[in-house]
Amino acid sequence: MSAEIRKAAEILRAGGLVAFPTETVYGLGADAASQKAVARLYAVKRRPSEHPVIVHFSSPDQAFAWGREVPPVAKKLADKFWPGPLTLILKRSERAKDFVTGGQDTVGLRVPSHPVAQRLLKEFGGAIAAPSANRFGLVSPTTAAHVREDLGKDVDLVLEGGPSDVGIESTILDLSGAAPVLLRPGHISREDLQKILGIEVSEKAIASPRHSGGLERHYAPRTPARLVPAFGLDKAITELKAKVAVLAFSRPDERVDHWLRMPREPHAYAQRLYAALRELDTAGCERILVEAPPDSPEWAAVTDRLRRACGPA
Ligand code: TXA
Ligand code: MG
């Protein structure tokens, strides 16, 4: 692994792209200080250039050097949750250029905990810009194999790190304004953040054009998918005259060929979610039906991703 990590750091220094595991999903990394490298990253991602990208660091001190004003609450959250699946949006310092922030006055900072990500960041020494390692708008990768399927030869190296532990993208908290705003729910919940901050964290309406995770249809399989309440699943299967694949808590229905049964615990569900959507997406069905999770705070992050995977109802 050491030789592999050294090679990865060299590729980054030369302006190349390295996909690497994080505890949330796999990232597609480029030198965050190099305009050319980041331009290639956007091209491979097929991502519009006004969408900002998260910048990754090995330590909170390094991360905060990219912020202009680092409020005490940011340090408090970093102490508690970094390294880990939390991204903080701060006003940017001069280190964060327009080409990583999409021209905004803020920057997204993250210190991942995955040991391979940490080793890569330390070996490289600088900041790594990394969106999820999939094409724009599609389901994020949670294994190295997913990355290879999605990006093939467009990525110079894929570091292996096993299946991602969390399975969905980091929680994003915007600390650049007067009050903290949750931009993307994740494994670290709104309630977890409020407990540490001692104040209310509001949520931003989902369809903000400024961050791509906020688009209405995102993290989406190619097969049209629909979220249905548990009580409506049987009826939906009966009514659909198409060949369907189902993601559900309940036991398989014999009329359905591709039925994936999901755990009733939100973290276990999140861990398996993207691999499950990929599997159903390639099952050769015309429709995917997803049984909606319970309407409670611990399911917020999973429900958010499912809503985006299914698009506007
Ligand atoms: O878990 C994660 O965060 C993964 C891993 C690889 O670290 N990364 C990830 O990146 O999900 P990406 O680019 O797929 O999603 C980043 C989200 C996007 O919605 C982006 O627009 C938003 O973060 N974002 C980044 N910087 C921002 C900023 N300054 N203001 C608002 N949103 C920002
Ligand atoms: Mg993404």
Centre of ligand 2 to C-alpha 148, Å, is: 16
Centre of ligand 1 to C-alpha 244, Å, is: 32
User: What confidence tens digit (pLDDT) does each residue in 115-140 have?
Assistant: 999 999 999 999 999 999 998 878 99
Using a 6 Å cutoff on CB, does residue 52 contact ligand 1? yes
d(CA 59, CA 100): 19
Centre of ligand 1 to C-alpha 55, Å, is: 8
d(CA 245, CA 288): 5
Domain boundaries, the chain: 2-203, 225-309
Neighbour tally for 257: CB within 10 Å: 13
Q: Which atom of ligand 1 is nearest to the CA of 92?
A: 29
d(CA 256, CA 123): 49
d(CA 120, CA 212): 26
- In this prediction, residues 226-254 reach a mean pLDDT of 93
Those residues with Cβ within 8 angstroms of residue 297's Cβ, 6 or more apart along the chain or in another chain: 189, 190, 191
Which of 214 and 2 is assigned the larger pLDDT? 2
Q: How confident is the model at residue 208 (pLDDT cuts 50, 70, 90)?
A: very low
User: What confidence tens digit (pLDDT) does each residue in 267-292 have?
Assistant: 999 999 999 999 999 999 999 999 99
Q: In this structure, which topology does domain 2-203 adopt according to CATH?
A: DHBP synthase (3.90.870)
Using a 6 Å cutoff on CB, does residue 130 contact ligand 1? yes
CATH class of 225-309: alpha beta
Using a 6 Å cutoff on CB, does residue 32 contact ligand 1? no
d(CA 63, CA 109): 6
- The number of helix segments (H) and strand segments (E) in the chain equals 11, 14
Within the chain, residue ranges assigned H as helices are 2-13, 35-45, 60-64, 72-81, 98-101, 115-124, 144-151, 190-197, 233-239, 266-281, 300-310
